[in-house]
Homo-oligomer: A and B are copies of this chain.
């Protein structure tokens, strides 16, 4: 029996509320909870698609804003779509471009119709609407598309948040209307509303009424204190249907992922593992370490003796320290491989813990190990 795509199976819920699921897409099945490496410009920085397979990536993220600007979705469509372009045969989630436009700040102008902005590459004037964002994502051929939304800054006035979330709801409706329902590509709605519980509820209820294939929490990890995000995570997942996937956008550090999985979230993305790797910041079971430090100059150990990645199987901290000091590209790739492997292994460990109803213990052990920092 072939399951319809998109289709989410909720396999098990741990007593804590952590969920184990399976999301079926056009390019295969994703075991949740899952972390999605970020492939901004049709590449997860420093890595090839073979590398992504080697570290156990199941699904990756592509940035509509960047691909819209260069090389353009028409070129990618002509070349057979984003999967073929970057030689990645697994599922791809594309964002709507809204977040990148939001982060351009002053140069964007939001109207009912859509958002006008200037390219960060050449300053040319560009326009993105809910319909255009869908059109681009359909041309790219991603497995999961995101609606165009407005991501309000933090902090923001309540009146601004209300207007913004209602605009995002109208854009959600237009996104649903614009998509080709026969295409098989999933479309997710994005819950906004800042840190206000009643506004998050209004946003979630509006979206759920329209009926999306999955729901994301947006507008978090935008500079708010950690406690504010935790507060939102304490109630927002409960506003969403149990039998659909929940995606926490742009989060986060390993400890954030463990907390968010405990709160009932299923999908995550973040540039941290790859960006930190390029800055020499490496993850281990005992917390982060910085390979730049002089004490690693003659350290024969791998980054983490418990890690099974290519980097830890073959190279010492001393070698990575040497490559980093010499600005060798080889080091940036080997460290990116390690950090992504760490994230993906962490998710696999959480999936196993949930399946066996021992997520509470997993979370406790994780916290106590992480407090023994290298730094």
Residues on the B chain within 8 Å of A45, using CB: 328-330
Q: Is the CB of B322 within 8 A of A70?
A: yes
Q: Is the CB of A328 within 8 A of B79?
A: no
Q: Which of B47, B310, B325, B330 contacts A46 (CB 8 A)?
A: B330
Q: Is the CB of B49 within 8 A of A318?
A: no
* Whole-angstrom CA separation of A300 from B78 in the bound complex: 9
Q: Which of B310, B316, B328 contacts A41 (CB 8 A)?
A: B328
* Whole-angstrom CA separation of A75 from B330 in the bound complex: 20
Q: Is the CB of B79 within 8 A of A310?
A: no
Residues on the B chain within 8 Å of A360, using CB: none
Residues on the B chain within 8 Å of A298, using CB: 71, 75, 78-79
* Residue of chain B at shortest CB distance from A69: B326
Min CB distance A64 to B, Å, is: 15
A residues 184-219 in Cβ contact with B at 8 Å: none
Q: Is the CB of A85 within 8 A of B319?
A: yes
Min CB distance A125 to B, Å, is: 21
Min CB distance A227 to B, Å, is: 37
Min CB distance A177 to B, Å, is: 31
The answer to the question of A236 belonging to the interface, with a C-beta cut-off of 8 Å to chain B, is no
Q: Is the CB of B43 within 8 A of A330?
A: yes
The answer to the question of A367 belonging to the interface, with a C-beta cut-off of 8 Å to chain B, is no
Q: Is the CB of B42 within 8 A of A310?
A: no
The answer to the question of A155 belonging to the interface, with a C-beta cut-off of 8 Å to chain B, is no
Min CB distance A350 to B, Å, is: 28
Residues on the B chain within 8 Å of A80, using CB: 300
Q: A46-B329, A329-B329 are in contact. Are A71 and B297 (CB under 8 A)?
A: yes
* Whole-angstrom CA separation of A71 from B296 in the bound complex: 11
Residues on the B chain within 8 Å of A328, using CB: 41, 43, 45
* Whole-angstrom CA separation of A330 from B332 in the bound complex: 10
Residues on the B chain within 8 Å of A329, using CB: 45-46, 329, 332-333
Q: A71-B322, A80-B300, A330-B43 are in contact. Are A314 and B49 (CB under 8 A)?
A: yes
Min CB distance A112 to B, Å, is: 33
* Residue of chain B at shortest CB distance from A319: B85
Q: Is the CB of A322 within 8 A of B49?
A: no
The answer to the question of A26 belonging to the interface, with a C-beta cut-off of 8 Å to chain B, is no
The answer to the question of A315 belonging to the interface, with a C-beta cut-off of 8 Å to chain B, is yes
Residues on the B chain within 8 Å of A46, using CB: 329-330, 333
Q: Is the CB of B42 within 8 A of A79?
A: no
The answer to the question of A50 belonging to the interface, with a C-beta cut-off of 8 Å to chain B, is yes
Min CB distance A251 to B, Å, is: 25
Extra pairs beyond A43-B331, A79-B298 (20, CB < 8 Å): A41-B326, A41-B328, A43-B323, A43-B328, A44-B330, A48-B310, A48-B314, A50-B310, A70-B322, A70-B325, A71-B297, A71-B298, A75-B297, A75-B318, A79-B300, A79-B316, A85-B316, A329-B329, A329-B333, A333-B333
Can you list 20 A-B pairs with a CB-CB distance of less than 8 A? Answer: A41-B323, A41-B326, A41-B328, A43-B323, A45-B328, A45-B329, A47-B330, A48-B334, A50-B310, A70-B325, A71-B298, A71-B321, A71-B325, A75-B297, A75-B298, A75-B318, A79-B316, A80-B300, A87-B315, A87-B319
Listed in ascending order, the chain A residues whose CB lies under 8 Å from chain B are 41-50, 70-71, 75, 78-80, 85-87, 297-298, 300, 310, 314-316, 318-319, 321-323, 325-326, 328-334
